[in-house]
Structure 1
């Protein structure tokens, strides 16, 4: 059903918060994630033992490759050559070969993965099963809120391998930054310039594309003006519930608009007046919180500390970070503020800190003592498995990483169902919080990381778009 969306009210300057979720889709720069459960083929019912064997072998091949993709031992990057086919290990009771292809569907512009598994029975009966996966929208990797109502992505190294969701506020992108999938702004506008490239834009208000900005898919401006500037280009279609201002640029598809159009631009598919269907990504229930409980002592990790530091927690950490085996620090029993203010920590191993109350990492400098990459995580667990950030959250339950600096060798996960304050921080990795208050001056570089137990801050994604027996 076609829906003409009502215009949203004008934002009160300074009163909005930005919430950003970087959602991993099926195809990412770092890897591909799909459901790891054993897949049962569908289609014609097997009529004989050998057919059943070949079908089971095809299933085993899909399960094998799914698990390897989940672990990251197989990487599916649409910009690189396809991964090599996967065959059953020597001596395996089943015989299969799985081919893997990944890329974009030309009709949708979205990433897709196809696995074709050929299973062979004892009598050489062959079953080929083709499964196509598409991106899902559940799960989240990075959450950020800014009191000035704007998320700025201006570092040319900032290449987000998934969706960026802005719940409240605006999104600004420039300086060769690239979003491989979709930018969704539910209560704000988008302004892209200086060669910023995005696959798709969905904004509840206006969209401005200036000076070399590129959108390789469609643009939805659902309650404001769409502005297209010189050398800006939209490869797909543009849908505007409002007015359009054109100053050069190019739209390779169509322009559908409910308001008036001023100026000129090259529009290959023509201009149409009327309503359009609201995209599903704008729906409030399109994303789900990932709960992270305390995992307990972990094999291969020393339970380094289960007492509360007397004064400066940073001093207690100095001998911990110099160890050469992964360290887990359990400070969940501490009821007062944990203060690491301006501590310099040179890591020789991965360190994960679990807390239940406030921790102050303001001004902490994290570097690598041996030049090798290391991970520094700060986790306030969410032990209630309900798909939403669950506290209790008070002003005392906050992860303060204001002005923390990470050298390029250091990455980390900051996780809390409550507030995280990374203002002015240089953070490499993931910031995932129920209420993350990021002030201007933060440099956040996305990296795909795991917790010490291997958990990812994302769900196994990959909705099956098509599954069939083909031989």
Structure 2
């Protein structure tokens, strides 16, 4: 077409008559040529612009993806290493620009999801990566808390924590724990409230209806939550069958996980976190709800309700699933009391301002029987005092009808005795100031590991509505049994005993102390209170995908 137009134009230029005759037509032809050329130029220009725009867009997308990859790499790097926390927040990045959102099932059990968004030149790329959380890195074990006992001798029914009259919360104390029990079974029912974590080294646990653990439960034997409640997590690494027929965790809580070394049976139970069963046997998802995920090593079965209805998170088989170890419960520490002489205490006590009175003969009458009147010897002291009454056959005994059951003190005191039998005794401050009473039965054989309770040492009791005033803290140490009895009774302080028994309810307040010359974990970093289950390590990549 362009050639024919060009030829017609040439003829007209060389033929003047034609030019004269067709001047209007020539102008039209010229205009048409110009329009065609302009359209062509526009088309070529548009093609060039679109190509350049496509190149810029592709470069922005590539840069945003690179930024997202860099964010994921940063998250993985932060989650790796001995002291790292895979569930910790990851700082946003600049140059490249990215943000990382971290979502854990909760510390201790399950999976972690990193959602990373990278941006560059107006483009953004979001990717999601899901990793396993492998085991726990146990923090350092702490010292004894409210109760430390080598053996648990009975159920703790109607055991109530008195936070209002406590010096501090269990979780605020270095070496925090509600109850440590090396041996024996922790069992409780209606009205029992444990204010922190509970531990057994080899013993079992049974929480019946009405029993609440406000922290974590670290159980060396079989764990049965039979209508009771653990507000933190349950860690039970023994390869046996464990049962959840109560509640683990709480709505909105950061924990609430179950990690067992064997199998688990969910029987009308509720777990607000995730469940991991590291045994090779078959777990049972009978009834109830697991709000997190369920990871198992062996297999599992149901009672008819589909597992996907019971488990709200993912259900994952992991043949390499490992058990989570228990924290190391502090070993029993032997306490001796060997004075320099009858009036000079051991140096550690003297360094803290204590003097010594060795009680013998008729002076023993102030400590037991109808003539017992401890207030008369302890309410007008001029310094801290230790009363060594091991030479008194009656020991410290207020059970007699004529005994003065009011024990008032105006200084810190320590009573070294083979036993005490406190019946209806009321401990209070003579001057209105806070004071401490140490009740100590020294270990019978300090050179032998574990508690040694040999005659004349024997079991001690607080019973018949004995009361401890909020101004007083009592630290009990005995390698023998310590028994609390009677519902209206109160106790304030700490107990370190060879065996612990509750014959009835008692209201307990926490006031931490340490025996001079002995370190029961006072300077040791504790396990985190309220169910601090330690820190997971980052495991295998489960999935990775782009998020639209």
TM-score range, shorter chain: 0.5 to 0.7
Count of aligned pairs between the two proteins: 333
Supply the distance in 2 between the matched residues of 1:194 and 1:149 (Cα, whole angstroms). Answer: 11
- State the TM-score, normalized to the length of structure 2: 0.51
Structure 1 residue 301 corresponds to structure 2 residue 354 = yes
Which residue of the other structure, out of 406, 418, 438, is the alignment partner of 1:377? 438
Give the structure 2 partner of residue 400 of structure 1. Answer: 461
Q: Residue 199 of structure 2 contacts residue 217 of structure 2 at CA under 8 Å; is this kept in 1?
A: yes
Equivalent positions of 1:274-313 (< 5 A) are 274=298, 277-281=322-326, 286-294=329-337, 296=339, 297=345, 298-299=350-351, 300-308=353-361, 309-313=363-367
Which residue of the other structure, out of 323, 326, 330, is the alignment partner of 2:384? 326
CA 1:369–1:337 in structure 2 vs 1: closer, same or farther (change >3 Å)?
closer
Which residue of the other structure, out of 442, 449, 455, is the alignment partner of 2:518? 455
Give 1:133 deviation, angstroms.
10
CA 1:248–1:187 in structure 2 vs 1: closer, same or farther (change >3 Å)?
closer
Which residue of the other structure, out of 347, 359, 381, is the alignment partner of 2:420? 359
Give the structure 2 partner of residue 468 of structure 1. Answer: none
Q: Residue 160 of structure 2 contacts residue 508 of structure 2 at CA under 8 Å; is this kept in 1?
A: no
CA 1:349–1:245 in structure 2 vs 1: closer, same or farther (change >3 Å)?
same
Supply the distance in 1 between the matched residues of 2:147 and 2:269 (Cα, whole angstroms). Answer: 35
Give 1:289 deviation, angstroms.
0.9
Give 1:195 deviation, angstroms.
6.5
Supply the distance in 2 between the matched residues of 1:302 and 1:401 (Cα, whole angstroms). Answer: 27
CA 1:211–1:340 in structure 2 vs 1: closer, same or farther (change >3 Å)?
closer
CA 1:204–1:151 in structure 2 vs 1: closer, same or farther (change >3 Å)?
farther
Give the structure 1 partner of residue 509 of structure 2. Answer: 445
Supply the distance in 2 between the matched residues of 1:211 and 1:390 (Cα, whole angstroms). Answer: 34
- The superposition leaves residues 132-185 of structure 1 with CA deviations (integer Å, 9 ceiling, x where unpaired) of 993226767733566544466433628542263342223338879565445337
Give the structure 2 partner of residue 143 of structure 1. Answer: 148
CA 1:450–1:281 in structure 2 vs 1: closer, same or farther (change >3 Å)?
same
Give the structure 2 partner of residue 21 of structure 1. Answer: none
Which residue of the other structure, out of 262, 278, 283, is the alignment partner of 1:241? 262
Q: Residue 178 of structure 2 contacts residue 194 of structure 2 at CA under 8 Å; is this kept in 1?
A: no
Supply the distance in 2 between the matched residues of 1:381 and 1:152 (Cα, whole angstroms). Answer: 30
CA 1:455–1:141 in structure 2 vs 1: closer, same or farther (change >3 Å)?
farther
Q: Report the aligned-residue RMSD.
A: 4.0
- The superposition leaves residues 104-125 of structure 1 with CA deviations (integer Å, 9 ceiling, x where unpaired) of xx8659xxxxxxxxxxxxxxxx
CA 1:218–1:333 in structure 2 vs 1: closer, same or farther (change >3 Å)?
closer
Supply the distance in 2 between the matched residues of 1:231 and 1:133 (Cα, whole angstroms). Answer: 21
Supply the distance in 2 between the matched residues of 1:333 and 1:184 (Cα, whole angstroms). Answer: 36
The answer for unaligned runs of 5 or more in structure 2 is 1-105, 110-136, 171-175, 299-318, 340-344, 527-533, 535-548
Local SS of the residue matching 1:401: strand
Q: Residue 207 of structure 2 contacts residue 229 of structure 2 at CA under 8 Å; is this kept in 1?
A: no
Give 1:282 deviation, angstroms.
8.1
Local SS of the residue matching 2:215: strand
Q: Residue 485 of structure 2 contacts residue 502 of structure 2 at CA under 8 Å; is this kept in 1?
A: yes
Structure 1 residue 389 corresponds to structure 2 residue 442 = no
Structure 1 residue 205 corresponds to structure 2 residue 226 = no
Supply the distance in 2 between the matched residues of 1:378 and 1:457 (Cα, whole angstroms). Answer: 16
> Is the helix fraction higher in 1 or 2?
2
Q: Residue 219 of structure 1 contacts residue 239 of structure 1 at CA under 8 Å; is this kept in 2?
A: yes
Give the structure 2 partner of residue 187 of structure 1. Answer: 203
Q: Max radius of gyration: which structure?
A: 2
Which residue of the other structure, out of 331, 348, 365, is the alignment partner of 2:410? 348
Equivalent positions of 1:87-98 (< 5 A) are none
Give the structure 1 partner of residue 538 of structure 2. Answer: none
Local SS of the residue matching 1:323: coil
- State the TM-score, normalized to the length of structure 1: 0.58
Supply the distance in 2 between the matched residues of 1:217 and 1:242 (Cα, whole angstroms). Answer: 13
Structure 1 residue 411 corresponds to structure 2 residue 411 = no
Give 1:371 deviation, angstroms.
2.1
Give the structure 1 partner of residue 29 of structure 2. Answer: none
Give the structure 2 partner of residue 154 of structure 1. Answer: 160
- The superposition leaves residues 177-198 of structure 1 with CA deviations (integer Å, 9 ceiling, x where unpaired) of 5654453373322327677422
- The superposition leaves residues 392-413 of structure 1 with CA deviations (integer Å, 9 ceiling, x where unpaired) of 246x633333343211111111
Structure 1 residue 265 corresponds to structure 2 residue 286 = no
Local SS of the residue matching 1:318: helix
Local SS of the residue matching 2:377: helix
Which residue of the other structure, out of 183, 188, 196, is the alignment partner of 1:172? 188
Q: Residue 389 of structure 2 contacts residue 395 of structure 2 at CA under 8 Å; is this kept in 1?
A: no
CA 1:221–1:153 in structure 2 vs 1: closer, same or farther (change >3 Å)?
farther
Equivalent positions of 1:3-152 (< 5 A) are 134-136=139-141, 142-144=147-149, 147-150=153-156
CA 1:312–1:182 in structure 2 vs 1: closer, same or farther (change >3 Å)?
closer
Q: Residue 159 of structure 2 contacts residue 506 of structure 2 at CA under 8 Å; is this kept in 1?
A: no
The answer for unaligned runs of 5 or more in structure 1 is 1-105, 110-131, 466-471
Q: Residue 235 of structure 1 contacts residue 252 of structure 1 at CA under 8 Å; is this kept in 2?
A: yes
Structure 1 residue 252 corresponds to structure 2 residue 273 = yes
Supply the distance in 1 between the matched residues of 2:454 and 2:519 (Cα, whole angstroms). Answer: 23
